[in-house]
Amino acid sequence: MAEQTAIVPDSRTMPRIAPKTLKPNLIGLSRDQLRDALLAAGAPDKQMKMRVSQLWGWLYQKGVSDADLMTNLSKDFRVFLAENFRIARPEIVTRQVSVDGTRKYLLRIDGGHEVEAVYIPEEDRGTLCISSQVGCTLTCTFCHTGTQKLVRNLTAGEIVGQILVCRDDLGEWESAGKDAADKRLLSNIVLMGMGEPLYNTDNVRDAMKIAMDNEGLSLSRRRITLSTSGVVPEIIRAGEEIGCMLAISFHATTDEVRDKLVPINKKWNIEKLLEACRNYPKLSNSERITFEYVMLKDVNDTDADARRLVKLISGIPAKINLIPFNPWPDAPYERSDWDRIEEFAEIVNRAGYASPVRTPRGQDIMAACGQLKSATERAKKSRAQIEAEAGAA
C-alpha cells in the first residue's frame, strides 16, 4: 500500500492569496542579489562578502531555515535577518510514498498555487524531478499537464526550494559536504515535472546556478538534465548559461505527426530542432543529448519510425529514452504493446544507441511523466471535502 501523509492546514486561516506584505525570501537569490537585498534593508557594507558566503552555507549546505540557528553570525545580524526576511520553501500539502520508494510531493507556493515534485530512488542515484511552471502553455496532446492552463512561472526560489524540501524530507543535510556528492540520496535533478523550462529560462538558470555552486547545493552540472519540448531559440542559451545536460521531447519522426503530438513543432520543426541540438555547447560522446520518445500505440511506434529516428539523429552524440505512454483519465492515446516497444528498441539498439525503456515508477501514486496534473486535482477534491467537513463541524 502506498503511504500518504496529508498535511492539511486549517482552511479558515489558510491564506489563498499571498499577502502583499510578505517579506522577501532569502532562498533563490544569487550572491549579488542577496548582497543588494541585505544592503537595501540597511545592513552595513562591511564584511558583506563574508556574510553572503556564510548565509549561503546555512541556507544551502546546512539547510537551516531559522536565522536564529545561524550561530556564526552575530546576534544583531540574526535579529536583523529575522525582522526583514523570510527563509521560505514551498509548503508540503501532501507527500505520498510508493511501494517502490518513489516519493511524490504536492507543494503549495505563494499565491496558493500548487506544483508537484517526484523523488525517484535508484541503486546508483536518487533523482528529483522538479517543476518549472504551474501548468504549461504548450498543449502536447499526450501530456496531462498540457491540458492545464499556465498559471505562472515559478521563481528561482520556488524552483530551488523543491530541492530543499526533498533534502529536508530525506534528512540528509549533515552529509551534504562538498565531497559527498556521489553518496547523496538526492544526487540528480531532472527538469521534467510540470511546465516548459525554456519558457522560464532565466529563473531556471538562476535556480540551477545555486544547485551547481560549490557553496550552494554542489550538484554537478552533469547531474542536472533539462527537458524541453523544443523551444529552439532558448536551447543554445540554456547550454551557454546553464551548461547542464539536455533532453529533447522528440516523440515523432515526421513533422506531420510531431505537429500533432508536440504542437510547438509547427513553430520550430524537426529540422530546426535538430540543428539547435547539433550546435548545443559541450556536446560530446561523454555529454550526450537524450532524445525522449513516448511510445504511443499505432501513432509513432512502427519499425519505419524507429529507422527514421536513428537516421534523423545520426551524427549527434545521443541517447534514446523510450517512455511507455503513461495513461491518464480520458487520454486520447494508448500505450504501445510491450513486444512492439521491444522490437522498436531492438532497431534502435542495432543502430548503436543504448535505448533503455523507462520503467514507469511510482505507478500506485500516479507519479510518472505526464501524469502530474491528475493527482493535483484529486488532492484538491479531497481537500475540498475536508474543508466542507470542517465547515459543517
Catalytic residue numbers, as ranges: 116, 369
Nearer to ligand SAH, 113 or 383 (CB): 113
Nearer to ligand SAH, 254 or 374 (CB): 374
Tell me which residue has its CB nearest to ligand SF4: 146
* Cell numbers given for 122: 535508484
Name the 3-class secondary structure at 76: helix
Name the 3-class secondary structure at 23: coil
Of 192, 245, 252, 341, the one binding ligand SAH (CB under 6 A) is: 192
Of 159, 204, 277, 294, the one binding ligand SAH (CB under 6 A) is: 294
Nearer to ligand SAH, 25 or 203 (CB): 203
Q: What does the DSSP assignment read for 236-251?
A: HHHHHHT--EEEEE--
Q: How far apart are CA 368 and CA 258, in angstroms?
A: 22
Instruction: Report the interface residues with ligand SF4, using CB under 6 A.
Output: 136, 138, 140, 143, 145-146, 195-196, 229, 249
Angle among Cα 7, 93, 225 to the nearest 5 degrees reads 140
Binding of ligand SAH at residue 325 (CB under 6 A)?
Answer: yes
Q: How far apart are CA 272 and CA 44, in angstroms?
A: 51
Tell me which residue has its CB nearest to ligand SAH: 370
Q: How many residues sit close enough to ligand SAH to count as binding (CB under 6 A)?
A: 16
Nearer to ligand SAH, 60 or 280 (CB): 280
Cα separations (Å) of 161 from 67, 145, 154, 286?
17, 21, 10, 30
Binding of ligand SAH at residue 153 (CB under 6 A)?
Answer: no
Q: Which of residues 132-151 bind ligand SAH (CB under 6 A)?
A: 140, 142-143
Residue found under cell 525522449: 292
Q: Which amino acid is at 381?
A: K
Binding of ligand SAH at residue 98 (CB under 6 A)?
Answer: no
Name the 3-class secondary structure at 96: strand
Binding of ligand SAH at residue 375 (CB under 6 A)?
Answer: no
Q: Residue 369, exposed/middle/buried by CB under 10 A (0-12, 13-18, 19+)?
A: buried
**Residues near ligand SAH (CB under 6 A):** 140, 142-143, 192, 196, 227-229, 249, 292, 294, 323, 325-326, 369-370
